[in-house]
């Protein structure tokens, strides 16, 4: 999902430009519509993505280590 600060900054800038305008309702509705659309997309934050990428990298490394150990054990066993 997009950073909430980003949406707040956009909202603040729009509010400053349209402070005394009837467009205020349109801005409010647009913000709600955009926020709802992003919520439906089931997006993740960049931080969550980065954490999961690190977990995946560690898991891949551990899998490679385990595969090497299994291979070494199989070779040792077949060599008996």
Give per-residue pLDDT as tens, 36-76: 887 788 888 899 999 999 999 999 999 999 999 999 999 99
**Which tens digit of pLDDT belongs to each residue from 6-16?**
778 888 887 77
What sign has the CA pseudo-torsion 33, 38, 40, 41? positive
Q: Where are the domains of the chain?
A: 1-43, 45-80
pLDDT given for residue 20 in this prediction: 63
Give the integer Cα–Cα distance in Å for 50 and 70.
Answer: 30
Q: How far apart are CA 29 and CA 27, in angstroms?
A: 5
Token pair for residue 37?
Answer: 């659309």
Rounded Cα distance, 74 and 58, in Å = 24
């Amino acid at each position: 999902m997009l950073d909430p600060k980003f949406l707040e900054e956009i909202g603040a800038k729009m509010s400053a430009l349209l402070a005394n305008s009837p467009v205020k309702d349109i801005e409010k509705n647009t913000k709600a519509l955009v926020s709802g659309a992003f919520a439906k997309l089931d997006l993740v934050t960049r931080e969550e993505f980065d954490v999961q990428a690190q977990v995946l990298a560690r898991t891949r490394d551990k899998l490679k280590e385990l595969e090497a150990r299994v291979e070494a054990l199989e070779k040792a066993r077949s060599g008996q």
